[in-house]
Amino acid sequence: MTTTSATNTAYKTLSKAMYNAALLGSTAALLGWEQETYMPNGGREHRANQLAQLAGMTHKMITAAEIGELLSTSEADASLAGEPTSESAVNLREWRRAYDRATKLPQSLVEEITKTQSLSQGEWAKARAESDFSRFQPWLEKILDLTRQKAECYGYPSDGEPYDALLEEYEPGATAAQIERIFTPLRDRLTPFVAEIAASTSKPAGVLHEIQIPKEDQKALSRFVSESLGFDFGRGRIDETTHPFCSTVGIGDTRITTRYRDDNFADALGSTMHETGHAIYEQGLRGECFGMPMGSTVSLGIHESQSRMWENQVGRSIAFWEWFAPHAKRILGVPALDAFTAERMYRDANIVEPSYIRVEADEATYNMHIMLRFELERALLRGDLSVKDLPAAWNRKFKEYLGIDVPDDRRGCLQDVHWAFGLMGYFPTYTLGNLYSAQFFETIKEQIPDLDDQFRRGEFSDLKSWLNQHIHRQGMRYHAGDLCTHLTGKELGADPLMRHLEGKLRPIYGI
């Protein structure tokens, strides 16, 4: 036996405490997943109470004074904290960040937010079903009020704004002003490009999405594609929800959900590939580092880069469709598909056209949905926009950016669950994900030159291994921006995403 120094003991005690907090957090994740999938309606209020209790307990565990002491003791040891990208230094850096943030929130606020989220989400579902914003309005006002309180507790620089305090939760290091600076050139180039596409007379036929496919066959196709891309069903499952998501509820247990529409199997397919991308990231984390930053994901933007890569860079490529088309025909077994070549499916999978629903939007216009939300939630938080004026503001901006009139709030500002959950500062991470995804993928194609040929053979393991090695197993070693520079040699920019979109869409649309 070697003698363990006091600092090593502190670090081990800290690790165990953070493991316990993460263990309880994973229990809450299961309750959250189950609430969306199988819980009967009668259990909603009790579930909200269960989640509030767990949130309160977890908050208490991670904000205990002992955690602060263990952190200080460990940080003072250069052998633990001295080398910035060593495992222990990364863990300490992120635990410190989380501790400082968590100790700024009173437990009563944490519990109230959690309970309100759960109830508010139920009301949002009813409001959306009835397209009745007035039903949701008081809940959003309450959520907004709680979110502002949260932002003020966290604090932000004097030249910043409340939005920055929230962003820090999802995309550490980013600010609203920075995001505006990245989004602006993207919009400047994307807007005329989308207009060019809209004006083109050479469009994909677009009838692939209109073929009626029974849900059970779509489920089989979802499972097939998810498994082929690399999702491990021994350590996960697929279920059905209103809004698709991915949730890890424990080591070796990552759940994805999707949704099925009889008249549009491409919708389920896209959602499944998207959530599979998230799940491959989660399944690729180091299980032995559960509860540690080294076993955690970098940011929502990086998380989204993984889902977008499998959904778009892979799932909307001609190479993918050359492999996938015969399997889709075989599994779906509808005669209407016989007439479709891989090329025609690929073209139909790449239709670009303004539409109302974000999660159904195409790869290009999707980013406009995001910019609109980013601006509106920023205005709500600043107090420049009141909740009651949200539908009108939404509809006005929608017309401005996408050129179409929103017919009702169900297809407008009530479409997303995010705000009902109090997720503000979250939306921009989706477009950051698109940007990271395109930039990473250019680098990967340089390093694996025959990637397209592999996809044509249904082989996705080289791509998965690359992501496992360079991103997933690195945990939070680098923040998002640094990871991007480290892997691609450049800061995040709009060029790779525009090259990806233009390179693919110009030939399809003959422009």
Q: Applying CB under 8 A, which part among 4-12, 24-32, 121-129, 170-178 lies near its own copies?
A: 24-32
DSSP 338: T
Report yes or no: 141 and 149 within 8 Å, Cβ to Cβ: no
Could you confirm whether 275 is annotated as catalytic? yes
Could you say whether residue 241 binds its own copies (CB under 8 A)? no
Q: Is the CB of 40 or the CB of 157 nearer to its own copies?
A: 40
Which two three-digit tokens encode residue 487? 């892997």
Could you say whether residue 449 binds its own copies (CB under 8 A)? no
Could you say whether residue 13 binds its own copies (CB under 8 A)? no
SS (H, E, C) 92-145: HHHHHHHHHHHCCCCHHHHHHHHHHHHHHHHHHHHHHHHCCHHHHHHHHHHHHH
Could you say whether residue 510 binds its own copies (CB under 8 A)? no
Report yes or no: 264 and 218 within 8 Å, Cβ to Cβ: no
Q: Is the CB of 60 or the CB of 457 nearer to its own copies?
A: 60
Could you say whether residue 288 binds its own copies (CB under 8 A)? no
Shortest Å, Cβ 47 to its own copies: 6
Could you say whether residue 39 binds its own copies (CB under 8 A)? yes
Q: Among residues 94, 96, 113, which one has the least CA distance to residue 153?
A: 113
Half-sphere exposure of 157 (CA within 13 A, CB side): 10
Judged by CB under 8 A, the number of residues near its own copies is: 35
Q: Applying CB under 8 A, which part among 108-116, 157-165, 200-208, 229-237 lies near its own copies?
A: 229-237
Set 275, 304, 311, 377: catalytic member: 275
Among 24, 146, 182, 319, binds its own copies (CB under 8 A): 24
Among 234, 335, 503, 510, binds its own copies (CB under 8 A): 234
Q: Applying CB under 8 A, which part among 230-238, 305-313, 383-391, 503-511 lies near its own copies?
A: 230-238
Name the residue type at position 142: K
Contacts of 254-260 with C-beta under 8 Å, sequence gap 24+, read: 254/279, 254/282, 254/283, 255/33, 255/279, 256/226, 256/231, 257/33, 257/36, 257/37, 258/222, 260/215, 260/218, 260/219
Report yes or no: 360 and 267 within 8 Å, Cβ to Cβ: yes
Query: What gap in Å lies between CA 357 and CA 369, rounded to an integer?
Result: 8
Among 143, 165, 190, 249, binds its own copies (CB under 8 A): 249
Shortest Å, Cβ 50 to its own copies: 5
Could you say whether residue 250 binds its own copies (CB under 8 A)? yes
Shortest Å, Cβ 250 to its own copies: 3
Which two three-digit tokens encode residue 20? 């316990």
Could you say whether residue 34 binds its own copies (CB under 8 A)? yes
Could you say whether residue 119 binds its own copies (CB under 8 A)? no
Which two three-digit tokens encode residue 262? 């009889």
Could you say whether residue 38 binds its own copies (CB under 8 A)? yes
Q: Is the CB of 31 or the CB of 146 nearer to its own copies?
A: 31
Q: Among residues 310, 324, 309, 406, which one has the least CA distance to residue 358?
A: 406
- What is each CA distance from 188 to 191, 194, 199, 322, 500, in whole angstroms? 6, 11, 18, 34, 16
Could you say whether residue 236 binds its own copies (CB under 8 A)? yes
Query: What gap in Å lies between CA 334 and CA 206, rounded to an integer?
Result: 17
Among 49, 137, 178, 200, binds its own copies (CB under 8 A): 49
Among 8, 20, 107, 200, binds its own copies (CB under 8 A): 20
Which two three-digit tokens encode residue 71? 């952190």
Residues that bind its own copies (CB under 8 A): 20, 23-24, 26-27, 30-31, 34, 38-47, 49-50, 53-54, 57, 232-237, 239, 249-253
| Active site (catalytic) residues | 275
